[in-house]
Structure 1
Amino acid sequence: MSAVAATGVWGRTEQQDFRSRVRGTLLGAAVGDALGAPVAGMGLAEIRAAHGGEGLTEPVAAHGRRGAVTAATQLALFTVDGLIRAQVRRDTGAWHPPTDLHRAYRRWAATQRDWGPDERRTEDGWLAREEWLYARRAPSRACLTGLADDRMGTLDVPKNPGERGPEAAARSAPFGLLVGWEPQLVLQLAVECAVQTHGHPDAYLAAGAHGLLVHGLARGESLDGAIQRCLALLGARPGHQAVTDGLRHALGAVRQGLPNAARVEELTGDGAAPGALAAAVYCALVGEDIRHGLRLAVNHGGPSAAVGALCGALLGALHGETELPPGWLTELEGRATVLELADDFAMEMTQGPALHSPAGAAPGWLARYPRA
């Protein structure tokens, strides 16, 4: 994958592998989110009292149905939409992906206040017309307030500068799927988009770190290798200490015996972004398979849905879609939408010049991802 990223030449095998990793990343994050949603906000003792001594081992109902996702998955999908739109709008000579992501997040914000899609707003594209997305699924206050107006947060003037929560990190896996980008650029874009809602370094650097980890995995690196690269790049960023300490703590915890809920809960700490990321990385490292890793990721007193989403994205990027639990995918809310968007992203990144250029574009593609 790294050779493809460097040359821009995609063979059939490379395209299929990339598509599988894109699908795996987005589906894995959604499955982890949905698994953790029913126990979000519960302590470990509460989880075990409700679901047995081993805690939650299979998906159960939340928000009125099994497989329901939270705002983390909604925002991750709009992140993908924004990344595609940025590529398409580049044909016009305008190239500022954070602005395109901000517009995408504002389209998500509209789903949180409107009753349903407005078919007259053709400039919104197809994703904003998906009716199932018009549901409030525990969106954080930081996401709602950060996207409540047209002003875009920046590194110089971030939105919610004291916000340390894991929500920006939980939507940041798609940045890592920009496999043709250099790692430092992936980090920069993820950070610039995180500060649109989460302005504390603990939050926006955790978002950048998560994007970097997915980037390494999507390019075929091992998780250990991706972590080491991430630590090296983060070390040059002011305010990195909590995130890098968390990642090192996760690596150290792997050597401390069999994985258990107490160790995961210790890593989550106060539930802020660095701890949630550390716990997710630990669960991805020690999980015997994806089921085991995700069960570890949600059975604790921390932010279960966020850790589940972060861990699921890592495991999906590492293994591809075929290793995800089929039974868990069957009931996943919005699965068809996730797959359609994943395939569009893979198509854009591997065959974009055939779909659009400054000279012209396929009308169907522009209807899905307008340049406006």
Structure 2
Amino acid sequence: MNTFESSPTLSDAPSTNRWSNSGAADPDVLRPSAQPEARQPAASPLQARQSASVQSTDQVDPRRWRGSLLAGAVADALGAPIESKPMDQIREVFGPHGITGLVPERDGIGGITDDTQMTLFTGEALIRAHARQRRAGSSDVRYSTQLAYQRWLHTQGVPWEKARGPRNPTAVPDGWLMGVPGLFKRRAPGATCFFALKGYGQTGEMGTFTHTLNNSKGCGGVMRAAPAALWSDDPAAVFEIGAMTAALTHSHPSGYLPAGALAVMVHTLVRGGSLADALAACRAQLYRWNGHEETTAALDAAVDLSGRGAPTPEKVGTLGGGNVGETALSIAVYSALATNDLNAALLVSVNHDGDSDSTGAVCGNLVGALYGEDAIEPTWLAQLEMREVVEAMAADLLAEFGPRPPADDRWATRYPND
């Protein structure tokens, strides 16, 4: 796909914009506003060229950016012990308020899941693609992302010769994440991700917006997309990159469009925007894509529900289980809108009957970008597995997408060309 105009995934008929760009995070101010004007599509970022100048993160608040990745990992660990458990059972074990803190797996550490693992590999992919663009003058970010996910597949027990794919001749997987022992643990990965990536290892066929691998809209696409927020200063490019990362494994529009939506919301928030700003920016991009209706309706439901009193697990349950992309995003947005505190939002996002780690991870990406790292409960951070790895990836993304990206040999070893 060379331009947005050539993509059959883009909608010709924008729908009504439900969210105003009011600059406040209070759901009471999220009122219907005028239909946004259709904008001229920009060139696709998927085949990056040097003519597209290195993007600057000068406008990105580092505390908000670090908060996004750290809060996503914290909430992933919060939700992991109660994933898909009935709320009655959760209350029986943890008390009337449900889970209220990390449950240590070992050595006092709360364990992450594949959600955080794959977010780290998304970050690695985007750095490697961007660094290659700087070094060689061009890059294929889709291919770099595919290879990063194949490296993740290898960490889940698939031999490299079966995971790498027919285009990759390397004898061993490279990059610094391959040296992190904690990533080589199988954390109940989603079946869609696992089998789509195993399929690529056999055939070399990548999932795209037009070449579908399945009809899945599982939440495994949206939960890993936050790093796409730094790819560009252009929200349209950010949306497409976020959606692309999910379309590699999830071919239903409601599997990949929520990933683009999350990326744009984080993009807005880390640049100082409010939650209302983020929703407006998300909506402006969503309506341009065919198949957006389920995701748009799910976000509408979150906005509407947020104005109906204090949040409860039962209210969260009316939005769905979070096991598919649009409901995972809806629950995350509702949790952010219905609270005025980062940690309260995380607890709302995980205490329900559904896919608690994924809804928590997505909510954490949002509220971490809204409130910043300093708002995260310190004891949760202290207990977080691989905190230092998440912090290192956050710092490396800021460095690569900053005005003076590293150009030394150490960086080339840490993030080699694909």
Same fold (TM over 0.5): yes
Q: Partner amino acid for 1:98?
A: R
**Contact 2:331–2:359 under 8 Å retained in 1:** yes
Q: Is 1:153 aligned with 2:207?
A: yes
- Looking at structure 2, the residues matched to 9 and 165 of structure 1 have their Cα atoms a distance apart, in angstroms, of 33
1:174-213 matched pairs, under 5 angstroms = 174-178=227-231, 180-213=232-265
The gaps in structure 2 that reach 5 residues or longer are 1-52, 161-169
Deviation at residue 286 of structure 1 after TM alignment: 1.6
Deviation at residue 123 of structure 1 after TM alignment: 6.0
**Contact 1:123–1:370 under 8 Å retained in 2:** no
**Contact 1:115–1:134 under 8 Å retained in 2:** no
Deviation at residue 173 of structure 1 after TM alignment: 0.9
2:183 corresponds to which of 133, 158, 161: 133
1:219 corresponds to which of 268, 271, 276: 271
Partner of 1:340: 392
Taking only the aligned residue pairs, the percentage that are identical comes to 37
Please give the secondary structure, in 2, of the residue aligned with 1:95: strand
**Contact 2:84–2:356 under 8 Å retained in 1:** yes
Partner of 2:409: 363
Alignment size in residue pairs: 352
Please give the secondary structure, in 1, of the residue aligned with 2:221: helix
Please give the secondary structure, in 2, of the residue aligned with 1:350: coil
Please give the secondary structure, in 2, of the residue aligned with 1:268: coil
Q: Greater shift after overlay, 142-151 or 61-70?
A: 61-70
Partner of 2:46: none
- Looking at structure 1, the residues matched to 289 and 273 of structure 2 have their Cα atoms a distance apart, in angstroms, of 23
Q: Is 1:124 aligned with 2:174?
A: yes
Deviation at residue 9 of structure 1 after TM alignment: 6.5
Q: Residue deviations 1:8-55, cap 9 Å, x none? A: 6676xx5xx632222111111100100000000201111111111111
Deviation at residue 67 of structure 1 after TM alignment: 1.2
2:218 corresponds to which of 165, 170, 179: 165
Note closer, same or farther for the CA distance 1:187–1:8 as it changes in structure 2 (3 Å cut).
closer
Note closer, same or farther for the CA distance 1:154–1:315 as it changes in structure 2 (3 Å cut).
same
Deviation at residue 271 of structure 1 after TM alignment: 3.2
Q: Partner amino acid for 2:335?
A: C
Q: Partner amino acid for 2:207?
A: G
Q: Residue deviations 1:239-281, cap 9 Å, x none? A: 1111000111111111111111111111125732111110100
- Looking at structure 2, the residues matched to 121 and 317 of structure 1 have their Cα atoms a distance apart, in angstroms, of 38
Q: Is 1:258 aligned with 2:301?
A: no
Please give the secondary structure, in 1, of the residue aligned with 2:150: helix
- Looking at structure 2, the residues matched to 337 and 126 of structure 1 have their Cα atoms a distance apart, in angstroms, of 10
The gaps in structure 1 that reach 5 residues or longer are 1-5, 357-361
Q: Is 1:240 aligned with 2:284?
A: no
**Contact 1:297–1:308 under 8 Å retained in 2:** yes
Deviation at residue 351 of structure 1 after TM alignment: 4.0
Q: Residue deviations 1:100-144, cap 9 Å, x none? A: 11111111111001599xxx9676111121111000101001111
Q: Is 1:36 aligned with 2:79?
A: yes
Deviation at residue 219 of structure 1 after TM alignment: 1.6
Deviation at residue 7 of structure 1 after TM alignment: 11
Partner of 2:41: none
Note closer, same or farther for the CA distance 1:106–1:122 as it changes in structure 2 (3 Å cut).
closer
Q: Residue deviations 1:314-357, cap 9 Å, x none? A: 0111122111111001011111111111111111111444x23x
Partner of 1:45: 88
- Looking at structure 2, the residues matched to 69 and 288 of structure 1 have their Cα atoms a distance apart, in angstroms, of 25
- Looking at structure 2, the residues matched to 215 and 24 of structure 1 have their Cα atoms a distance apart, in angstroms, of 13
- Looking at structure 1, the residues matched to 130 and 322 of structure 2 have their Cα atoms a distance apart, in angstroms, of 38
Q: Partner amino acid for 1:140?
A: G
Deviation at residue 288 of structure 1 after TM alignment: 3.0
TM-score (norm: length of structure 1)? 0.89
- Looking at structure 1, the residues matched to 55 and 266 of structure 2 have their Cα atoms a distance apart, in angstroms, of 19
**Contact 1:37–1:62 under 8 Å retained in 2:** no
Q: Greater shift after overlay, 196-205 or 225-234?
A: 225-234
**Contact 1:217–1:318 under 8 Å retained in 2:** yes
**Contact 1:210–1:277 under 8 Å retained in 2:** yes
1:102 corresponds to which of 121, 146, 150: 146
**Contact 1:59–1:328 under 8 Å retained in 2:** yes
Q: Residue deviations 1:164-206, cap 9 Å, x none? A: 211110001111133x431111111111221111111111111
Partner of 1:288: 340
Deviation at residue 59 of structure 1 after TM alignment: 0.9
Q: Greater shift after overlay, 131-140 or 17-26?
A: 17-26
Please give the secondary structure, in 1, of the residue aligned with 2:111: coil
**Contact 1:38–1:61 under 8 Å retained in 2:** no
- Looking at structure 2, the residues matched to 174 and 208 of structure 1 have their Cα atoms a distance apart, in angstroms, of 11
Q: Which has the higher helix share?
A: 1
Q: Partner amino acid for 1:41?
A: S
